[in-house]
Amino acid sequence: MQHESVGVKSILRIIEILRELSKMDDLSLVKSKFPAFPSFAENICQLFLEDRLFDIMPRLEIYLKIIRKYNPQVRPAIDPYVSTQIGVFSKNFSDWEIGRFLGYPNCCIKSFTEEVRYGLDERHFEELKKVKKKVFVTTAGFVPCSIFCKESHSKGLASFLNKKIVHRLNLLEKELSIALPHLHPEYQGHYYDCVETSE
């Protein structure tokens, strides 16, 4: 068996949380079991109990199988259909809860919420000037506190990659979008954010 990349491990962590929530039948136990994102977890468990998430685990199996084939260093965004169904884009939960569920480092959640950095900005681009001949890749939707944030790299959320590897990630994006069609307008075939640095 091939060595699993941090990108795959990062996905497995999320799938495991969802699997656990799908099996829980006592809503009162959820908050203490998932103290990092109690309200979000409780809502997901409630949706499972109402059988409104019946189709997400089969989709995630297909999603995982495709990702394992590519074994990427950086994980792609969660299947946008699943994210929509479980409430990742909902305004009912704090950015902290959603960020922790998605495995984002605290330093990055803090900069995202407290400094309102909802995408790569001038500070990121200033840092990017220090890097040559690489492509900076992040999980789509994830905004690091710094492009050099060590924790985000070790958690499979960001990396400096060469063009050949990025080409493979683009193939992965294509394969995911064909196998798992969805209606989210901003995430059509878009599972990564990539910025090329200078030569």
Cβ 106 to Zn ion shortest distance, Å: 8
Q: Confirm or reject binding of residue 141 to Zn ion (CB under 5 A).
A: no
Q: Confirm or reject binding of residue 143 to Zn ion (CB under 5 A).
A: no
**Closer CB to Zn ion, 67 or 145, in the complex:** 145
What DSSP assignment string belongs to the chain? -PPPPHHHHHHHHHHHHHHHHHH---GGGHHHH-TTSHHHHHHHHHHHHTTTTTTHHHHHHHHHHHHHHH--SSPPPP-HHHHHHHTTT-TTS-HHHHHHHTT--HHHHHHHHHTT--S--HHHHHHHTT-BS-EEEEETT---SSTT-HHHHHTTSEEEE-HHHHHHHHHHHHHHHHHS----GGGTT--EEEEE-B-
- For Zn ion, the binding residues in 26-85 under the rule CB under 5 A are none
Q: Which of 8, 44, 145, 161 binds Zn ion (CB under 5 A)?
A: 145
Q: Confirm or reject binding of residue 149 to Zn ion (CB under 5 A).
A: yes
Q: Confirm or reject binding of residue 156 to Zn ion (CB under 5 A).
A: no
Cβ 35 to Zn ion shortest distance, Å: 21
- For Zn ion, the binding residues in 93-122 under the rule CB under 5 A are 105, 107-108
Cβ 85 to Zn ion shortest distance, Å: 28
Stretch in the footprint of Zn ion (CB under 5 A) among 37-45, 88-96, 149-157, 164-172: 149-157
**Closer CB to Zn ion, 107 or 180, in the complex:** 107
Task: List interacting residues with Zn ion (CB under 5 A).
Answer: 105, 107-108, 145, 149
